[in-house]
Protein backbone atom coordinates (compact mmCIF):
# COMPACT_ATOMS: atom_id res chain seq x y z
CA UNK A 1 0.00 0.00 0.00
CA UNK A 2 1.17 3.51 -0.85
CA UNK A 3 1.25 6.12 1.92
CA UNK A 4 1.98 9.72 0.98
CA UNK A 5 2.28 12.84 3.12
CA UNK A 6 1.14 16.29 2.12
CA UNK A 7 4.71 17.27 1.24
CA UNK A 8 5.06 14.26 -1.05
CA UNK A 9 1.68 14.95 -2.68
CA UNK A 10 2.52 18.61 -3.26
CA UNK A 11 5.65 17.51 -5.14
CA UNK A 12 3.51 15.36 -7.46
CA UNK A 13 0.48 17.51 -8.32
CA UNK A 14 -0.18 21.24 -8.53
CA UNK A 15 -1.88 23.74 -10.86
CA UNK A 16 -1.16 22.55 -14.39
CA UNK A 17 -3.05 21.80 -17.61
CA UNK A 18 -3.19 18.05 -17.02
CA UNK A 19 -4.81 18.50 -13.63
CA UNK A 20 -7.29 21.00 -15.10
CA UNK A 21 -8.30 18.43 -17.71
CA UNK A 22 -8.73 15.81 -14.99
CA UNK A 23 -11.16 18.18 -13.26
CA UNK A 24 -13.07 18.78 -16.52
CA UNK A 25 -13.46 15.03 -17.00
CA UNK A 26 -14.65 14.71 -13.40
CA UNK A 27 -17.49 17.10 -14.21
CA UNK A 28 -18.30 15.28 -17.46
CA UNK A 29 -18.44 11.93 -15.67
CA UNK A 30 -21.39 13.14 -13.58
CA UNK A 31 -23.46 14.15 -16.58
CA UNK A 32 -22.65 11.27 -18.92
CA UNK A 33 -23.61 8.55 -16.46
CA UNK A 34 -20.14 7.26 -15.54
CA UNK A 35 -20.27 8.42 -11.92
CA UNK A 36 -21.61 6.50 -8.95
CA UNK A 37 -21.97 9.20 -6.29
CA UNK A 38 -23.83 8.43 -3.05
CA UNK A 39 -25.15 11.41 -1.06
CA UNK A 40 -22.52 13.54 0.69
CA UNK A 41 -22.13 13.17 4.43
CA UNK A 42 -22.17 16.39 6.48
CA UNK A 43 -21.23 17.10 10.07
CA UNK A 44 -21.74 20.61 11.38
CA UNK A 45 -19.97 22.21 14.35
CA UNK A 46 -21.61 25.65 14.55
CA UNK A 47 -20.16 26.48 17.96
CA UNK A 48 -16.66 26.05 16.50
CA UNK A 49 -17.57 27.62 13.13
CA UNK A 50 -16.64 24.37 11.42
CA UNK A 51 -17.93 21.51 9.32
CA UNK A 52 -16.85 18.15 7.95
CA UNK A 53 -17.70 16.51 4.61
CA UNK A 54 -17.47 12.87 3.64
CA UNK A 55 -17.45 12.35 -0.12
CA UNK A 56 -17.01 9.04 -1.89
CA UNK A 57 -17.71 7.45 -5.24
CA UNK A 58 -16.52 5.59 -8.31
CA UNK A 59 -16.19 6.42 -12.00
CA UNK A 60 -17.13 3.55 -14.33
CA UNK A 61 -14.05 1.98 -15.86
CA UNK A 62 -11.69 3.16 -13.12
CA UNK A 63 -9.69 0.53 -11.25
CA UNK A 64 -9.96 2.50 -8.02
CA UNK A 65 -12.60 4.23 -5.92
CA UNK A 66 -12.03 6.87 -3.27
CA UNK A 67 -13.36 8.01 0.10
CA UNK A 68 -12.48 11.52 1.26
CA UNK A 69 -12.92 13.10 4.68
CA UNK A 70 -12.36 16.87 4.72
CA UNK A 71 -13.06 19.46 7.38
CA UNK A 72 -13.09 23.23 7.49
CA UNK A 73 -12.82 25.11 10.78
CA UNK A 74 -12.85 28.73 9.74
CA UNK A 75 -11.62 30.36 12.95
CA UNK A 76 -8.43 28.27 12.91
CA UNK A 77 -6.16 30.91 11.30
CA UNK A 78 -6.60 33.08 14.39
CA UNK A 79 -5.32 30.10 16.39
CA UNK A 80 -2.30 29.60 14.15
CA UNK A 81 -3.87 26.54 12.50
CA UNK A 82 -4.90 25.89 8.89
CA UNK A 83 -8.63 26.24 8.21
CA UNK A 84 -8.88 22.94 6.35
CA UNK A 85 -7.54 19.42 6.67
CA UNK A 86 -8.42 15.94 5.47
CA UNK A 87 -7.40 12.56 4.12
CA UNK A 88 -8.21 10.52 0.99
CA UNK A 89 -8.42 6.72 1.07
CA UNK A 90 -8.06 4.86 -2.23
CA UNK A 91 -9.32 1.30 -2.76
CA UNK A 92 -9.20 -1.19 -5.63
CA UNK A 93 -12.48 -1.41 -7.53
CA UNK A 94 -11.49 -4.97 -8.49
CA UNK A 95 -10.69 -6.45 -5.07
CA UNK A 96 -11.77 -3.86 -2.50
CA UNK A 97 -8.29 -3.79 -1.05
CA UNK A 98 -6.93 -0.48 0.18
CA UNK A 99 -4.27 0.78 -2.21
CA UNK A 100 -3.31 4.18 -0.85
CA UNK A 101 -3.61 6.51 2.10
CA UNK A 102 -3.16 10.09 0.95
CA UNK A 103 -2.57 12.22 4.05
CA UNK A 104 -2.98 15.43 2.08
CA UNK A 105 -4.28 17.55 5.01
CA UNK A 106 -6.85 19.10 2.68
CA UNK A 107 -4.36 20.00 -0.06
CA UNK A 108 -6.08 17.97 -2.79
CA UNK A 109 -9.46 19.45 -1.90
CA UNK A 110 -8.04 22.97 -2.05
CA UNK A 111 -6.31 22.27 -5.37
CA UNK A 112 -9.25 20.64 -7.12
CA UNK A 113 -11.68 23.29 -5.85
CA UNK A 114 -9.50 26.09 -7.20
CA UNK A 115 -9.08 24.36 -10.54
CA UNK A 116 -12.80 23.54 -10.64
CA UNK A 117 -13.78 27.14 -10.02
CA UNK A 118 -11.47 28.35 -12.77
CA UNK A 119 -12.66 25.69 -15.24
CA UNK A 120 -16.32 26.51 -14.59
CA UNK A 121 -15.77 30.26 -14.81
CA UNK A 122 -13.91 30.10 -18.11
CA UNK A 123 -16.47 27.70 -19.61
CA UNK A 124 -19.35 30.07 -18.90
CA UNK A 125 -18.00 33.62 -19.00
CA UNK A 126 -17.91 35.83 -22.09
CA UNK A 127 -14.91 35.17 -24.35
CA UNK A 128 -13.79 38.78 -23.85
CA UNK A 129 -14.02 38.66 -20.03
CA UNK A 130 -10.94 40.23 -18.45
CA UNK A 131 -11.86 41.58 -14.99
CA UNK A 132 -12.04 38.74 -12.47
CA UNK A 133 -13.03 39.33 -8.83
CA UNK A 134 -12.40 36.73 -6.13
CA UNK A 135 -14.54 37.21 -3.03
CA UNK A 136 -12.78 35.64 -0.07
CA UNK A 137 -9.24 35.86 1.29
CA UNK A 138 -8.83 32.35 2.65
CA UNK A 139 -7.07 29.31 1.23
CA UNK A 140 -9.46 29.07 -1.70
CA UNK A 141 -8.73 32.65 -2.72
CA UNK A 142 -5.11 31.60 -3.24
CA UNK A 143 -5.86 28.49 -5.30
CA UNK A 144 -8.50 30.22 -7.38
CA UNK A 145 -6.08 33.01 -8.24
CA UNK A 146 -3.34 30.49 -9.10
CA UNK A 147 -5.71 28.48 -11.27
CA UNK A 148 -7.18 31.48 -13.08
CA UNK A 149 -3.72 32.89 -13.73
CA UNK A 150 -2.64 29.56 -15.28
CA UNK A 151 -5.74 29.05 -17.43
CA UNK A 152 -6.37 32.73 -18.29
CA UNK A 153 -2.97 34.46 -18.16
CA UNK A 154 -4.35 37.74 -19.55
CA UNK A 155 -6.96 38.11 -16.80
CA UNK A 156 -6.96 41.07 -14.41
CA UNK A 157 -7.55 39.49 -10.99
CA UNK A 158 -8.57 41.32 -7.82
CA UNK A 159 -9.42 39.94 -4.38
CA UNK A 160 -11.84 41.27 -1.78
CA UNK A 161 -12.13 40.02 1.80
CA UNK A 162 -13.64 41.14 5.09
CA UNK A 163 -10.22 41.39 6.76
CA UNK A 164 -7.94 43.89 4.96
CA UNK A 165 -4.80 42.46 6.59
CA UNK A 166 -5.58 38.95 5.36
CA UNK A 167 -6.28 40.26 1.86
CA UNK A 168 -2.99 42.14 1.80
CA UNK A 169 -1.09 39.06 3.00
CA UNK A 170 -2.75 36.89 0.35
CA UNK A 171 -2.11 39.32 -2.49
CA UNK A 172 1.54 39.52 -1.46
CA UNK A 173 1.84 35.78 -2.18
CA UNK A 174 0.43 36.12 -5.70
CA UNK A 175 1.88 37.65 -8.84
CA UNK A 176 -0.11 40.28 -10.70
CA UNK A 177 -3.13 40.26 -8.34
CA UNK A 178 -4.57 43.43 -6.80
CA UNK A 179 -6.75 44.33 -3.81
CA UNK A 180 -10.41 45.26 -4.29
CA UNK A 181 -11.12 47.70 -1.43
CA UNK A 182 -14.92 47.82 -1.80
CA UNK A 183 -17.09 44.79 -2.61
CA UNK A 184 -20.02 46.57 -4.23
CA UNK A 185 -17.79 48.68 -6.50
CA UNK A 186 -15.73 45.64 -7.47
CA UNK A 187 -18.82 43.57 -8.26
CA UNK A 188 -20.29 46.31 -10.43
CA UNK A 189 -17.11 46.42 -12.54
CA UNK A 190 -16.40 42.69 -12.76
CA UNK A 191 -16.82 40.45 -15.79
CA UNK A 192 -16.47 37.38 -13.57
CA UNK A 193 -17.12 37.04 -9.82
CA UNK A 194 -15.94 33.96 -7.93
CA UNK A 195 -17.13 33.64 -4.34
CA UNK A 196 -15.23 31.38 -1.92
CA UNK A 197 -16.33 32.08 1.64
CA UNK A 198 -18.09 30.20 4.46
CA UNK A 199 -20.83 32.87 4.55
CA UNK A 200 -24.29 31.98 5.82
CA UNK A 201 -25.87 35.20 4.55
CA UNK A 202 -25.67 36.75 1.06
CA UNK A 203 -22.60 38.83 0.21
CA UNK A 204 -23.27 39.61 -3.46
CA UNK A 205 -26.49 41.48 -4.24
CA UNK A 206 -28.58 41.17 -7.38
CA UNK A 207 -28.41 44.85 -8.30
CA UNK A 208 -24.60 44.87 -8.07
CA UNK A 209 -24.24 42.53 -11.04
CA UNK A 210 -24.35 43.91 -14.57
CA UNK A 211 -25.61 42.10 -17.69
CA UNK A 212 -23.02 39.75 -19.15
CA UNK A 213 -21.40 38.92 -15.82
CA UNK A 214 -20.63 35.35 -14.82
CA UNK A 215 -20.63 34.25 -11.16
CA UNK A 216 -19.11 31.05 -9.79
CA UNK A 217 -20.24 30.34 -6.22
CA UNK A 218 -18.09 27.86 -4.31
CA UNK A 219 -18.78 28.46 -0.64
CA UNK A 220 -22.27 26.95 -0.24
CA UNK A 221 -21.19 23.33 0.10
CA UNK A 222 -23.37 22.38 3.07
CA UNK A 223 -26.80 23.29 4.47
CA UNK A 224 -27.20 26.85 5.74
CA UNK A 225 -24.45 28.48 3.70
CA UNK A 226 -25.23 31.24 1.18
CA UNK A 227 -23.09 33.77 -0.70
CA UNK A 228 -25.49 35.14 -3.36
CA UNK A 229 -28.73 36.99 -2.86
CA UNK A 230 -31.61 34.71 -3.88
CA UNK A 231 -32.87 37.40 -6.25
CA UNK A 232 -29.57 37.15 -8.15
CA UNK A 233 -30.00 33.40 -8.63
CA UNK A 234 -33.52 33.99 -9.91
CA UNK A 235 -32.38 36.83 -12.18
CA UNK A 236 -29.76 34.72 -13.99
CA UNK A 237 -30.48 33.51 -17.51
CA UNK A 238 -28.36 30.37 -17.00
CA UNK A 239 -27.90 28.38 -13.78
CA UNK A 240 -25.31 25.61 -13.86
CA UNK A 241 -24.54 23.05 -11.15
CA UNK A 242 -21.63 20.65 -10.74
CA UNK A 243 -24.22 18.19 -9.38
CA UNK A 244 -27.84 19.22 -9.83
CA UNK A 245 -29.07 17.07 -6.95
CA UNK A 246 -26.48 18.54 -4.56
CA UNK A 247 -26.98 22.16 -5.63
CA UNK A 248 -30.74 22.01 -5.24
CA UNK A 249 -30.44 20.21 -1.91
CA UNK A 250 -27.75 22.17 -0.06
CA UNK A 251 -25.95 24.46 -2.54
CA UNK A 252 -26.43 28.05 -3.60
CA UNK A 253 -29.49 27.13 -5.68
CA UNK A 254 -31.19 25.43 -2.72
CA UNK A 255 -32.46 28.73 -1.30
CA UNK A 256 -34.27 29.70 -4.50
CA UNK A 257 -35.69 26.20 -4.82
CA UNK A 258 -36.92 26.21 -1.22
CA UNK A 259 -38.73 29.46 -1.98
CA UNK A 260 -40.42 27.85 -4.99
CA UNK A 261 -38.66 30.20 -7.42
CA UNK A 262 -36.65 27.63 -9.44
CA UNK A 263 -36.73 23.89 -10.03
CA UNK A 264 -34.59 21.19 -11.66
CA UNK A 265 -35.77 22.20 -15.12
CA UNK A 266 -34.38 25.70 -14.61
CA UNK A 267 -30.77 24.49 -14.22
CA UNK A 268 -28.16 22.63 -16.26
CA UNK A 269 -25.16 20.52 -15.26
CA UNK A 270 -21.65 21.71 -15.96
CA UNK A 271 -20.50 18.34 -17.29
CA UNK A 272 -23.14 18.40 -19.99
CA UNK A 273 -22.01 21.86 -21.10
CA UNK A 274 -18.33 20.86 -21.09
CA UNK A 275 -19.11 17.80 -23.23
CA UNK A 276 -21.27 19.79 -25.68
CA UNK A 277 -24.46 17.93 -24.76
CA UNK A 278 -26.09 21.08 -23.37
CA UNK A 279 -25.93 24.73 -24.36
CA UNK A 280 -23.95 27.19 -22.29
CA UNK A 281 -24.03 30.97 -22.50
CA UNK A 282 -26.41 32.10 -25.25
CA UNK A 283 -25.92 35.86 -25.24
CA UNK A 284 -23.16 38.32 -24.28
CA UNK A 285 -25.71 39.97 -21.98
CA UNK A 286 -26.68 36.81 -20.09
CA UNK A 287 -25.99 36.63 -16.39
CA UNK A 288 -24.71 33.12 -15.72
CA UNK A 289 -24.14 31.37 -12.41
CA UNK A 290 -22.23 28.19 -11.60
CA UNK A 291 -23.00 26.61 -8.23
CA UNK A 292 -20.14 24.30 -7.21
CA UNK A 293 -20.90 22.17 -4.18
CA UNK A 294 -17.88 19.88 -4.63
CA UNK A 295 -18.18 16.40 -6.12
CA UNK A 296 -16.44 13.13 -5.34
CA UNK A 297 -15.46 12.62 -8.97
CA UNK A 298 -13.00 15.48 -8.49
CA UNK A 299 -11.49 13.71 -5.50
CA UNK A 300 -11.24 10.51 -7.52
CA UNK A 301 -9.51 12.40 -10.33
CA UNK A 302 -7.03 13.93 -7.88
CA UNK A 303 -6.27 10.59 -6.22
CA UNK A 304 -5.86 8.86 -9.58
CA UNK A 305 -3.44 11.55 -10.75
CA UNK A 306 -1.39 11.35 -7.54
CA UNK A 307 -1.06 7.58 -7.81
CA UNK A 308 -0.20 7.73 -11.51
CA UNK A 309 2.57 10.27 -10.93
CA UNK A 310 3.82 8.48 -7.82
CA UNK A 311 4.17 5.22 -9.74
CA UNK A 312 5.85 7.06 -12.63
CA UNK A 313 8.35 8.66 -10.27
CA UNK A 314 9.14 5.30 -8.69
CA UNK A 315 10.00 3.69 -12.03
Residues 306 and 211 in one domain: no
Residues 270 and 134 in one domain: yes
Report the domain count for the chain: 2
Give the chain's mean pLDDT: 95
Specify if 39 maps to a domain. yes
Report the CATH number at residue 17: 3.30.1780.10
Specify if 207 maps to a domain. yes
* Active-site pick, 55, 68, 79, 225: 68
68 is catalytic: yes
Residue range 271-310, pLDDT digits in tens: 999 999 999 999 999 999 999 999 999 999 999 999 999 9
Report the CATH number at residue 144: 3.40.50.720
Residues 87 and 138 in one domain: no
Residues 19 and 88 in one domain: yes
Q: Is this prediction's pTM over 0.85? A: yes
Specify if 31 maps to a domain. yes
Residues 161 and 286 in one domain: yes
Residues 205 and 76 in one domain: no
Residue range 15-65, pLDDT digits in tens: 999 999 999 999 999 999 999 999 989 999 999 999 999 999 999 999 999
Q: Which domain holds residue 265?
A: 125-291
Specify if 118 maps to a domain. no
pLDDT computed for residue 258 by the predictor: 95
Specify if 117 maps to a domain. no
Give a three-class secondary structure readout of the chain. Answer: CEEEEHHHHHHHCCCCHHHHHHHHHHHHHHHCCCEECCCCEEEEEHHHCEEEEEEEEEECCCCEEEEEEEEEECCHHHHCCCCEEEEEEEEECCCCCEEEEEECCCHHHHHHHHHHHHHHHHHHCCCCCCEEEEECCCHHHHHHHHHHHHHCCCCEEEEECCCHHHHHHHHHCCCCEEECCCHHHHHHHCCEEEECCCCEEEEECHHHCCCCCEEEECCCCCCCCEEECHHHHHHCCEEEECCHHHHHHHCCCHHHHHCCCCCHHHCEEHHHHHCCCCCCCCCCCCCEEEECCCCHHHHHHHHHHHHHHHHHHHC
Residue range 156-182, pLDDT digits in tens: 999 999 999 999 999 999 999 999 999
Residues 138 and 274 in one domain: yes
Amino acid sequence: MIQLSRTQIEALVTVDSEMAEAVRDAYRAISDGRANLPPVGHLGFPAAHGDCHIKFGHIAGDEVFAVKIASGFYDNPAKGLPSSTGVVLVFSALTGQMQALLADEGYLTDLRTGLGGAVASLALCRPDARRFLIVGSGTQGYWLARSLRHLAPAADIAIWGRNPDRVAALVARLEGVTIAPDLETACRGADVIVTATPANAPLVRADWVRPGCHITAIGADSPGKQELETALVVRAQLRVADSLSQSLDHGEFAHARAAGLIGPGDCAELGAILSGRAAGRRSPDDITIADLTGVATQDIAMARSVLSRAKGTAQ
